[in-house]
Chain A
Amino acid sequence: MTPVLEVRGLRVSYGGLRAVDGVSLEVRHGEIVSIIGMNGAGKSSILNAISGIVPPDEGEILFDGESIGGLATHAIVARGIVQVPEGRMIFGTLSVEENLRVGAHGRGGFLLRERTRADFGRLFPTLADKLDRPAAGLSGGEAQVLALARGLAAEPRVLLLDEPSLGLAPKLAADVFDLIQRLREQGLTILMVEQNVGRTLALADRAYVLESGRIALQGSASELLSDSRLVANYLGMSSTSSCNTT
């Protein structure tokens, strides 16, 4: 089966500093694929290069076998790849519904479709009765849910999630992971970056471990969970665990 999204030999740098150094990865239809790594390993840069936010130095990005490298972000969103950015970036001065409508902007719409609205009521009951409120008044957990919902309003085929559980209390983080699981059940393909390695691997089909811009390990989630190197470095089960607390 050909992958929906494929990255080949990606190199990204900022002002001469190389953040991503020759990364190749693929995401097949209906999969949750995770990129794991420490702060500054280049995880977000990969997502930003796929989204067209950051221009890559080198490498190919293929969506459905077609190159999307060099396209502007709005063109990439229109094709069906939508990123939920790190830090949520919801529009605080806009209402919750307007935030969702900005999401719908990506697929060329203005108002929410009835079907989308019904989906939201089911998937995001916490937001359903706050549609008219300014988004600045939402709690951190609600804001993350809104960021996800806003991304979905663009009706993507591939969703890129950048640190969806960052800054959330464990209970709220668990809710967000549940939500991601339910999105996969709806047939969405997901590429996510996470620091919460244990939870991510419980959710993901496959994962790539990134170190200093290069892929150090890759494999199915279960393979990686039994890999001693990963366990030692990222899961905090040995004395060298101090580096993964973020």
Chain B
Amino acid sequence: MIDFVQNTVDGIMFGSSYALLAVGFTIIFGVMRRLNLAFGATIMLGAYVGTWLHVNYQVNVLIIALAILASTVLTGVYVERLCFRAIRRDAALASMVSSFVIWMQLEEVAIHLLPERTYPFPSLFVVDAIEVGAFLFRAEHVTMLVLAVAMVGALHLLLHRTRFGLALRAMSENPRAASYMGIDTGRVMLCSFALVSLVGGVAGYTILATDEQITPFFGLWTTFKGLIAMMLGGMGSLPGAILGGLMLGVVEAHSQWYLGNEYKDLSAYILLFAILVLRPGGLMGRRILSREELAYRRV
């Protein structure tokens, strides 16, 4: 019982970072109706810039964190300009394919920045695990959860209390109508990419600070985790992305504990398979779809 609770809480804490990755994928999908496959690579390259600073200059952890966020945002903006802005709205496939190609390009840049495979990644701080009764929590995991909750809270406020947030939500629902209403859709797209990259940068940083190492495969890893979590929750649904991320974290934690490390990823894929068979639109996806249908039927 203690193991079960411990694993569940660990899973939720680690899953909170999956949730942030999924939120990144899902916001861009919502605004653009296109998948940004370069999102994971964007996070990876940002983290590589921080690692490069760490390896070469031994700078303060805080500065590294800021450098990671800044370079992730810049890379995100670069991807938007290249794969999304320049390509016509109705050519969703072209955007997706070019974002995949840009993923390879970003990976190449990272490899040239730091040529060997694995590098140490600076931890946030060195603190002992936190003991609560019979339970033991890693400080990095707690930080991850706290930051993720803060990010989601800030995101919620941004989406519901600001002019940009309203524009983003309007555009997610109907880009054409948003355009008619005088929303500068190009600017919303660009800002969405910057925003999502910031969220991804935080997720990437906390994950790497827990792992304490980085390889170029980190781009692939974040893409997998983010896409699986998004699909679990339902594409385009923010609550779905959060639910999917937490669920993925919990299932991984349990399977790792009860079945062993080699079954961790497999169980994630089995979970995805089961959800897609039982609820093809994802957990929160169907409701969103039918609501959209409802809205269209009324017009």
Question: Contacting A150 at CB < 8 Å: which of B181, B291, B292?
Answer: B181
For B162, B180, B185, the residue with the greatest tally of chain A CB atoms inside 10 Å of its CB is B180
Question: Within 8 Å of chain A (Cβ to Cβ): is B178?
Answer: yes
Total A-B Cβ pairs within 8 A: 96
Query: Once the chains bind, are A74 and B174 in contact (CB under 8 Å)?
Result: no
Question: Within 8 Å of chain B (Cβ to Cβ): is A78?
Answer: yes
Measured CA separation A105–B166 after assembly (Å)? 9
Query: From DSSP, what is the main secondary structure of chain B's interface residues?
Result: helix
Query: Once the chains bind, are A83 and B298 in contact (CB under 8 Å)?
Result: no
Question: Within 8 Å of chain B (Cβ to Cβ): is A11?
Answer: no
Query: Once the chains bind, are B299 and A143 in contact (CB under 8 Å)?
Result: yes
Question: Within 8 Å of chain B (Cβ to Cβ): is A49?
Answer: no
Chain A positions within 8 Å of B88 at CB level: none
Query: Once the chains bind, are A138 and B181 in contact (CB under 8 Å)?
Result: no
Query: Once the chains bind, are B294 and A92 in contact (CB under 8 Å)?
Result: yes
- Contact indicator per residue, chain A 69-84, by CB within 8 Å of chain B (1) or not (0): 0001110111000111
Question: Within 8 Å of chain B (Cβ to Cβ): is A91?
Answer: yes
Chain B positions within 8 Å of A14 at CB level: none
Measured CA separation A110–B169 after assembly (Å)? 14
| Interface size range of chain A in the complex | 35 or more
* Chain B: interface residue total (CB-CB under 8 A): 25
Question: Within 8 Å of chain A (Cβ to Cβ): is B182?
Answer: yes
Question: Within 8 Å of chain B (Cβ to Cβ): is A37?
Answer: no
Question: Contacting A92 at CB < 8 Å: which of B167, B178, B183, B298?
Answer: B298
- Contact indicator per residue, chain B 272-292, by CB within 8 Å of chain A (1) or not (0): 000000000000000000011
Query: Once the chains bind, are B291 and A102 in contact (CB under 8 Å)?
Result: no
Chain A, residue nearest B178 (CB):
A102
Query: Once the chains bind, are A72 and B169 in contact (CB under 8 Å)?
Result: no
Question: Contacting A98 at CB < 8 Å: which of B162, B166, B184?
Answer: B166
Query: Once the chains bind, are A91 and B291 in contact (CB under 8 Å)?
Result: no
- CB within 8 Å of A: which residues of B? 162-163, 166-167, 169-170, 173-174, 176-186, 291-292, 294-295, 298-299
For the A-B complex with A74-B182, A82-B181, A83-B180 known, give 4 more contacts whose Cβ atoms are closer than 8 Å: A89-B176, A91-B170, A101-B166, A105-B182
- CB within 8 Å of B: which residues of A? 51, 53, 72-74, 76-78, 82-85, 87-94, 98, 101-103, 105-107, 109-110, 135-136, 138, 140, 143, 150-151, 154
